[in-house]
Amino acid sequence: MELRHLRYFRAVAEERHFGRAAERLHMAQPPLSQQIRQLEAELAVTLLDRNTRKVELTPAGAAYLERVRVILAEVDEAAARAQRVAAGMEGRLVVGCVGSATYSLLPTFARAVREALPGIDLAFRGEMLVPDQVAALAAGRIDLALLRPPVDDPALQVSLLRRDRLIVALPEGHRLVSRARLRIRDLRDEDLIVHASHGRSVMHGTVEELCREAGFVPRVRHEVAETSTLVTLVAAGLGAAVVPEPVSSLGIPGVTYRPLSGSDIHVDLAAAVRAADDSPALARALDLLGPLARSRAE
């Protein structure tokens, strides 16, 4: 038995006429009749009552038709789903994000995927430090990382999305709030709240380097892994922080932001994927991501 036998039987059963069924199937009537007889012989069941005027289903034929319709519908849906997956219109993607991308780019990206690719199941892991993202990509726990380069791993493909300016987060009422723009050296005598050290956060190294270039060692009072926690500590008056500009979209009360002077004070945001990942769904999602990131930067 082959699928074509089931399709032939369904056509005859629905048309109640071999001639009309043959026209529907774009084949001659004699081979169609022969195929139905072969099917009945294999099943050892009479499916159709035939006479010169019409064809009627036997009780066994009616029961068989009910199941045949279900089987063929499942087969057709399986083919359609395979085609959707191959075209990148269906699938599952897990995205890992650094803190600032979690609150700025990620919501816009999620909406764009939902609208343009509703068949893709998008899951997220926010507030991930770069080493954790790299490890999760390698282990297959995430498919796309929005991270801060550099990333030195030949198994990953990294593409620059945008450059984020750095700003200073200050507690409301802080003495530096009165200034329209700050310099790094203005933070010389300030308690600082920074992201995790020991190579876990690109932002930690960036702040240390900026302070060193300004001639002082930062007075770090708190180190945190999550950007939302960092800004919350600033709001509590426990110190100031240097953060990427998109962090200001968090909207945590009690925090005031000021821009930093300097033509090259920024950090990069990049998309990282496994170099060998040829997922069509991932490719379509990346096509949406690039323009969104550039638009957000502008």
Q: Is residue 54 packed enough to be buried (19+ CB in 10 Å), middle (13-18) or exposed (0-12)?
A: exposed
Domain residue limits, the chain: 3-86, 91-161+268-297, 164-264
Could you check whether 3-86 and 164-264 share the same CATH topology?
A: no
Query: Hey, what CATH topology would domain 91-161+268-297 get?
Result: D-Maltodextrin-Binding Protein; domain 2 (3.40.190)
Architecture of domain 3-86: Orthogonal Bundle (1.10)
Global pTM? 0.74
Distance in angstroms (rounded) separating the CA atoms of residues 77 and 247: 44
CA 188 to each of CA 131, 169, 206, 214, 263: distance values in angstroms, whole numbers, following the listed order:
29, 15, 15, 9, 20
Query: What are 111's two structure tokens?
Result: 């909406």
**What is the per-residue pLDDT across 57-89, written as a single tens digit (0 to 9) for each?**
999 999 999 999 999 999 999 988 888 888 888
CATH number corresponding to 164-264: 3.40.190.10
pLDDT of residue 201: 86
From first to last of the 298 residues of the chain, give the pLDDT tens digit: 889 999 999 999 999 989 999 999 999 999 999 999 999 999 999 999 987 677 999 999 999 999 999 999 999 999 888 888 888 888 999 999 998 888 888 889 999 999 999 999 999 998 898 999 999 999 999 999 999 999 989 999 999 999 999 999 999 999 999 999 999 999 999 999 999 887 788 899 999 999 999 999 999 999 998 999 999 999 999 999 999 999 998 889 999 999 998 767 899 999 999 999 999 999 999 999 988 887 655 5
